[in-house]
Amino acid sequence: MEILPERAADSTEEIYLSNVSAQLVYQAVLELPEFLRTPIVLHYYEDLSVEEIAFILAKPTGTVKSRLWRGRARLRHMLKVEYDEQSHSSIEKLS
């Protein structure tokens, strides 16, 4: 493995797919209810700690942690549904 050269920069396709994925996730974040969206945005997009978010929102850290967990779970579900719908649509086009 030591004789292999380092991998070149990401390909155009990889960069495009990464950007599309980031846009899909961000769009899903915007669809969350505000009480879940706010901690997600502050934590993942503004890089604030749970303690900082708790201070800003005037909520206990446990509440912030719970909302982050619930927000991630809701996002996971939303993105899975979107992926399943796109996959199903692609299969129908092939039929």
Q: Is 72 or 95 the better-scoring residue by pLDDT?
A: 72
Distance between CA atoms of residues 59 and 11, nearest Å = 44
How many whole angstroms from its chain centre is CA 20? 12
pLDDT band at 11 (very low <50, low <70, confident <90, very high): confident
> What pLDDT does 75 receive?
95
pLDDT digits (tens, 9 = 90+) for 39-86: 999 999 999 999 999 999 999 999 999 999 999 999 999 999 887 877
Report pTM: 0.74
Q: Is 54 or 19 the better-scoring residue by pLDDT?
A: 54
> What pLDDT does 82 receive?
83
Q: Is the pLDDT of residue 31 over 90?
A: yes
Classify 80 as helix, strand or coil: helix
Distance between CA atoms of residues 45 and 35, nearest Å = 16
Overall average pLDDT of the 6-12 stretch: 71
Helix (H) or strand (E) holding 36: helix 34-40
